[in-house]
Amino acid sequence: MLFKRRNPAKVGEVVRVALWPRRSWNRSVRYMMQRVGRLQGAPEFIALGCACGVFASFTPFVGFHFVVAGVLAFVTRSSLLASAIGTFAGNPLTFPFIWYSTFSVGRYILGGEGDFSVGRLNAGFGDMMTGIFNFSSDAFASAFDAIWPLFKPMLVGSLPLGLPIAIISYFVLKRVVIAYQEKRRQVRRLSSPV
């Protein structure tokens, strides 16, 4: 394989790099901003796609953020690729804060409804795995009953938190894309023969 590692990475190294990038978070953020700036299209088209990805990161659909962002990008007629890049707003560093804040805000909105119990959550995921492997609808129903008291407040709380942050990210990223595209135009003008 062309760019494969000579010595495969160990599990500990993969986890460490996922939590803390090799170079730094600053470099990783700058790289993602450059990736967004290099996308082809109108700045509004790209920024709206990224905002869809940022909003999707606030939803409790863990593992399906790309799908949620893609559906939102399709509905808003924005960049599908930019929406995938925007989901990087949810990462191992930000997810604990996102999950806690969406649960707290959702619980407040619902008037204290919702319960977070690690034992109940583990039992729910255990029932879900049993339902998957045994194709048991009773296990799925039991899993849903165990997970719903956590999932519902997070879903409700994701709307008032995710929407303003997505709107802010839209305006910030729009300016970033405009600046990057203008800089590229200037470089092309200077490098092209007259």
pLDDT tens digits, residue range 120-175? 666 666 666 666 677 766 766 766 777 777 888 889 999 999 999 999 999 998 99
- pLDDT, residue 136, reads 65
Q: Mean pLDDT over residues 107-129, rounded?
A: 71
Cα radius of gyration (the chain): 21
The torsion region of residue 63 among left (phi > 0), alpha (psi -120 to 50) and beta comes to left
Nearest to 48 by CA among 85, 92, 91: 85
- pLDDT, residue 165, reads 95
Q: Where are the alpha helices (DSSP H) in the chain?
A: 11-19, 25-38, 43-57, 65-76, 80-86, 95-109, 118-134, 137-191
> Which tokens sit at 60?
């409790």
- pLDDT, residue 171, reads 95
pTM of the model: 0.73
| AA identity, residue 159 | L
d(CA 70, CA 163): 16
d(CA 71, CA 61): 13
- pLDDT, residue 10, reads 78
Q: Which residue has the higher pLDDT, 96 or 115?
A: 96
- pLDDT, residue 1, reads 46
Residue 119 pLDDT more than 70?
no
Contact between 69 and 56 under an 8 Å Cβ cutoff? The reply is yes
pLDDT tens digits, residue range 19-67? 666 666 667 667 766 776 667 778 899 999 999 999 999 998 888 899 9
d(CA 139, CA 66): 27
